[in-house]
Amino acid sequence: MSSEITKHLEEAEKQLSIALALMLPYAGSGKRMPNGTLWLGSWSEVSKTAKAMLRVRSLAEKLRYLETPRKRKPGVFAARPGSVSQDLQAPELYHGAKDHDQ
């Protein structure tokens, strides 16, 4: 299922990049597409197309990342055996070996 989605996203990215490549030479010229629906020279249309292409690319990358099998690694803050209780029992680890009662 997700591989089909990835294929469709890749195809959409390809089509958007083709559209963008066709639009860029006319950017700022004010020309219309042959069917009259889109201003090729409108920078807002070029910007919208580029943003859409980047969104599609981002979605495809996220989906590929979710599909790739990974080994779970302990996080940075994973507790080591005995470290939590030791930290709770030894406040001098954080405050130094000073005596705060003076």
Domain contains 55: yes
> Residue 86 CB: number of other CB atoms within 10 A?
11
Is residue 26 included in any domain, yes or no?
Answer: yes
The yes-or-no verdict on residue 85 having pLDDT over 60 is: no
Please give the mean pLDDT across all residues of the chain: 73
CA distance 52 to 10: 13
pLDDT at residue 11 greater than cutoff 60 = yes
* pTM: predicted TM-score of the whole model, two decimal places: 0.52
The pLDDT of 8-28, averaged and rounded, is 86
Boundaries of domain holding 48: 2-67
Using DSSP's 3-state secondary structure scheme, residue 20 falls into: helix
Confirm whether 27 is domain-assigned: yes
Is 83 part of a structural domain of the chain? Answer: no
81 in a domain, yes or no?
A: no
Tokens of 78: 């994973």
Helix (H, G, I), strand (E, B) or coil at 39: strand
- Specify the 3-state DSSP secondary structure of 100: coil
Has residue 15 been placed in a domain? yes
